[in-house]
Structure 1
């Protein structure tokens, strides 16, 4: 029976993949190197800006943002103040800034890339049929696998961590943008057409405003997926709270690992609640 399975010799998939990856890295190094350099510059700028802001001021700004986002209620503001103070008290403030930079940068790129692709899927059936399987593949692939092309093309550090987070986190924004535009009432679109509006005017003045709440829900998921990649990205040199968790795991330091993990939980709750509040405001 095994002879039937061995009828076809072993396919050299691993060798072929390594060959293609090496060739791609060598051929397009003129493109990858500037992307890495410019991205690193922006990341360093964002990190240095966040680090330069005194912790007290940044905590106050987050609390104020939470206060107005939650409809002038104090619950989220109090949690933000206590949670961020705890992170500062444990000496993890600088690591928090690195983590926040990774999340914000990868989320921003995901939105800038994902929304146009979602619009394209909603407007073009061929694009929808092509991009949908790609999104399925991206969402079913284990997150660790995304580290391989990131390291192959960009080495180690924050930039490949952002790239891996981008690939992992972008599908929700694309899917929800597509869904939101498709759910816009055809009667409203036809009414806009009857008034002589162009395709761009219909998109920006009718479809996108009406789909805003759905798109914001996708952005919320994208941000949370970016945050979930923090620990995984630390495996390829991305600094921040994830590196502390990974180091504690490798050295069996339960206490420091628990504190860093708790700091990630605090950050995740604050970001999740803020994005949800803004999503509800856009729907209102």
Structure 2
């Protein structure tokens, strides 16, 4: 009856050998191709450092006005713009300006990378049911995998620092933009597509002029969710040396500094609200505009 009480697991020696084989194989892979990955990511590294330097070394009034102006362009809402200004002023008043700018830089770059990689994958999924069937389980695993696990292969491949953290953040945040790009294109009215075909549109013209514009509100919802996930992962990525608001939070946990953790946590919440409100408002404006254009 022991087999009913204790699960008949793999032999311990066999399990150890299996794990070691995978570990050694991945270690050999990182040694063989780690330098190549680092070289390929040099443009990303340059762009990330440029963005961080731009936000941290520019005069803070210019940065504040620039972010407020971008929020105004996205939302066309005085209420949201004032909220952005007040939030950033409070962050600066409590001496969290530099860390906040580093977090914003990391979030912006990771989100842009996720958009650049994720939207084409979503388009391919929308055009092929087979591809969708193959990629959906991968996305399911990515969205249920604990965020700490993403750090392991990245650190083994690229070491510790900003770029490994950026890649971990991007990979963690990419599923929503892929899923919602796929969904948005698939939800485009078939009658509209038939009309485009009747006018002799090619497959590329139909995608560029019909499907993508009509799917933009749904895609913007994916961008919004990607930003939120990137912000959440930036804090976790502080464990591998990513600068920003995550490091003080990590320090607060290690040393039981209650106020330090709460203030930096509230700063992260403030940034999340800024991104969320601005991107949602832009998505709503875009949807109204498309409704007017398409009658």
Q: TM-score of the superposition, structure 2-length normalised?
A: 0.91
Counterpart residue number, 1:264: 268
Q: Which residue of 2 aligns with 1:20?
A: 25
Alpha-carbon distance in 1 for matches of 2:80, 2:38: 42
* Aligned residue among 44, 59, 64 for 1:39: 44
Contact 2:188 2:215 in 1 (8 A): yes
Residue 184 of structure 1 aligns to a residue in which SS? coil
| Cross-structure match for 1:9 | 11
Matched with 1:95 is: 99
> Residues 36 and 154 of structure 1 are in contact (CA less than 8 Å); yes or no, is this contact kept in structure 2?
no
Q: Is contact 2:34-2:158 (8 Å) kept?
A: no
Question: Is there any run of 5+ residues in structure 1 with no aligned partner, and where?
Answer: none
Counterparts of 2:9 and 2:252 in 1: how far apart (Å)? 48
Which residue of 66, 78, 91 corresponds with 1:61? 66
Give the structure 2 partner of residue 135 of structure 1.
139
One of 104, 107, 121 as aligned partner of 1:117: 121
Aligned equivalents of 1:68, 1:197: Cα separation in 2 = 33
Structure 1 range deviating more: 117-126 or 37-46: 37-46
Q: Is the contact between residue 75 and residue 285 of structure 2 (CA under 8 Å) also seen in structure 1?
A: no
Tell me if structure 2 keeps the 8 A contact 1:220–1:276. Answer: yes
TM value normalised by structure 1: 0.94
Task: Determine if contact 2:176/2:226 at 8 Å carries over to the other structure.
Answer: yes
Match of 1:174 in 2: 178
Correspondence for 1:213 among 214, 217, 220: 217
Tell me the equivalent position of 2:189.
185
Q: Which residue of 1 aligns with 2:53?
A: 48
Instruction: Summarize the Cα distance change of 1:2–1:159 in structure 2 as closer, same or farther, 3 Å threshold.
Output: farther
- The Cα RMSD (Å) is 1.6
Is the 8 Å Cα contact of residues 118 and 176 (structure 1) preserved in structure 2?
A: yes
The number of aligned residues is: 283
CA displacement 1:58-108 (0-9 Å, x = unmatched): 21222233334333x422122211110111112221111211111011100
